[in-house]
Amino acid sequence: MHLRRIISPQREVLNKLARDNYSVIERGDRIFFRDVYDHLVRLVDLNETLRDLISGALDTYLSVTSNRINEVMKVLTIISALFMPISFVTGFFGMNFEGLPFANRWLMVGVFGMILGTPFVMLYWFTRRGWLSPSEPQYRRPSLLAEAETEKPQSQAYRAEVASRKFHRQKAALGDERGGDL
């Protein structure tokens, strides 16, 4: 930025010195001013190119940093989601009311089973959805390429006939049983 601030005004000054008629500058010396002007133009272009490269490198760095932060946030979110049902169950049975799980043996076993089982069930579900693996897509959809390869090419007349049938079915669905004009 500092170099750009210095070079840009100098370029305009040297352009004036090389092109205009000044009594202190001889006609033969203008060639040298044009040469210096050309060098300054190249420097300005090089400076702009380097500035664009640095801007692109900064954008890439920020993108990589953002992706790393997203991965960390994903892990922290999964951990908090796994502990959320445990906190709910222990908080619920920590209230002061009749029939605490400690009073009944089977209720106590059920509560401990729920406390221990819920995170494992959630972890299994997260794995099946593809939320734990960065390389696996979250949703797998069948490829349209396979459908396009098996599809036969059709003539223009056939496509027009199919479109006409579809149009008449839509009109019938709107209430016109004859299929005529609405």
Q: What CA–CA distance (Å, rounded) separates 177 from 65? A: 62
The closest of 113, 112, 125 to 81, measured between CA atoms, is 125
* Residue 10 belongs to a domain: yes
Give the domain extent around 36. 2-129
Number of domains the chain contains: 1
Burial label, 113 (beta-carbon count in 10 A; 0-12, 13-18, 19+): exposed
* Residue 69 belongs to a domain: yes
Q: How high does pLDDT run on average in the chain?
A: 78
| CATH code, domain with 30 | 1.20.58.340
Task: Return the structure tokens found at 147.
Answer: 């459908």
pTM listed for this prediction: 0.48
Contacts of 135 (CB under 8 A, 6+ apart): none
* Residue 6 belongs to a domain: yes
* Residue 76 belongs to a domain: yes
- CB pairs under 8 A, 24+ apart, for 113-119? 114/85, 114/89, 115/85, 115/86, 115/89, 115/90, 118/85, 118/86, 118/89, 119/82, 119/83, 119/85, 119/86
Chain CA centroid to CA 26, Å = 61
- Tens-digit pLDDT profile for residues 83-130: 888 888 888 777 766 666 667 788 788 888 888 898 888 888 888 887
* Residue 8 belongs to a domain: yes
- Tens-digit pLDDT profile for residues 125-135: 888 887 776 65
